[in-house]
Amino acid sequence: MSEGRRRALITGITGQDGSFLAELLLARGYEVWGLIRKASLFNTQRIDHLYQDPHAKDVRLHLRYGDVTDGASLLRLVQEARPDEVYHLAAQSHVQASFQLPELTAEVTGLGTVRLLEALRQAGLAQQARFYQASTSELFGDAATSPQDEETPIRPCSPYGAAKAYAFHIVRTYREAYGMFAVNGILFNHESERRGETFVTRKITRAVGRIACGLQERLYLGNLDAERDWGFAGDYVEAMALMLQAPEPVDLVIATGQRRSVREFAALAFERVGLDWEEHVEIDPRYLRPAEVNTLVGDASRARELLGWRPRLEFEALVARMVDADLALARREAALRP
């Protein structure tokens, strides 16, 4: 571990989790280094509120261009940042999209992990830097047992899940082969007002806001019977940080233990603005997947025992928070209309 202020590197810092994690670590006094992709449009909206003038004294947020498909960019970044902690969150993270982009998903979501681990080894940082891998409940696929925990067999059923399974195993391999402090956080679904708009919860709350403001009439969804264990992203990034402070590197499930259907989420979200979901939601078969994970629910007992972690925001409060934020957004959108 290096002396002085702790340094964290976050890949995927522009995503939902990356933004909450950067906030948390900056508030704790860390120096934070973030890998961002070169895009044709701005992609830093979720972290713009954390911006610091790069010429000011005592700057603690440093952003560098790079890509997890470009090993040289990763090596350059770890050599410059010399992190004590690495949070590897970058991924092509959309399950349905992974069926249309299987090769890209393997490159980014699977091989991206080994490129970053190798960059750390080549830079001589394998023993200094603790490594967090953004693993997922999608590893379990349509699991035969419920709830799922650390002993549940890995049997993914999407190209995304298969790529994450490779990443899971390569992290464990590097831990055992090279003695790295490298861990898999097996996180179940977690959401917020910063969630990407094509994931089902945000797609629903965004539509609720727009329908309530008269900007949209219908919401088209796929499988309403699918059940997920939905928590709040802000709570889950705390678990990530705790996993890297633990005395031993251990892979852990992070979940609420509560199972809800897409239908229940939609009903509650529409109810929040006084609307009946059945009058606005229609099924569109384009949102059905070639292979569906029908039910996921996690048992986070081990994380509670080892880290003292437990989720704070309840399901109902999460839905309310997301709807309220998207209603405010839709009102601003409506106000800009001629």
160 an active-site residue? yes
Count of CB atoms situated within 10 Å of the CB of 313:
18
Return the structure tokens found at 109: 């979501």
Query: Is the bond leading into 311 cis (omega within 30 degrees of zero)?
Result: no
136 an active-site residue? yes
CA 202 to chain centre: 14
What are the phi and psi torsion angles at 21 (to 5°)? Answer: -70, -40
**Does position 113 bind ligand G4F by CB under 6 A?**
no
Query: Do 204 and 265 form a contact (C-beta atoms < 8 A)?
Result: yes
| Choice between 222 and 257, CB closer to ligand G4F | 222
Q: Which residue among 11, 105, 113, 136 is the active-site one?
A: 136
Query: Do 273 and 327 form a contact (C-beta atoms < 8 A)?
Result: yes
| Choice between 184 and 212, CB closer to ligand NAP | 184
**Does position 138 bind ligand G4F by CB under 6 A?**
yes
| Choice between 31 and 227, CB closer to ligand G4F | 227
By CB under 6 A, name the one of 75, 89, 204, 322 that touches ligand NAP.
Answer: 89
Binders of ligand NAP among residues 59 to 88 (CB under 6 A) are 67-69
Where does this chain touch ligand G4F (CB under 6 A) — which range of 37-45, 62-70, 234-242, 285-293?
285-293
- SS3 label, residue 183: strand
Q: What is the CA radius of gyration of the chain?
A: 20
**Does position 100 bind ligand G4F by CB under 6 A?**
no
**Does position 31 bind ligand NAP by CB under 6 A?**
no
182 residue type, one letter: A
| Choice between 27 and 41, CB closer to ligand NAP | 41
- SS3 label, residue 148: strand
223 binds, among ligand G4F, ligand NAP, none (CB under 5 to 8 A by kind): ligand G4F
**Does position 222 bind ligand G4F by CB under 6 A?**
yes
Candidates 110, 40, 79, 87; CA nearest to 245 is 87
193 an active-site residue? no
Binding mask 134-173 for ligand NAP (x = CB under 6 A): x-x-------------------------------------
Contacts of 190 by beta carbon, 8 Å cutoff, 6+ apart: 17, 230, 231, 232, 233, 235, 236
**Does position 91 bind ligand NAP by CB under 6 A?**
yes
Binders of ligand G4F among residues 189 to 218 (CB under 6 A) are 189, 198-200, 203
Q: Annotated active-site positions, please?
A: 136, 138, 160
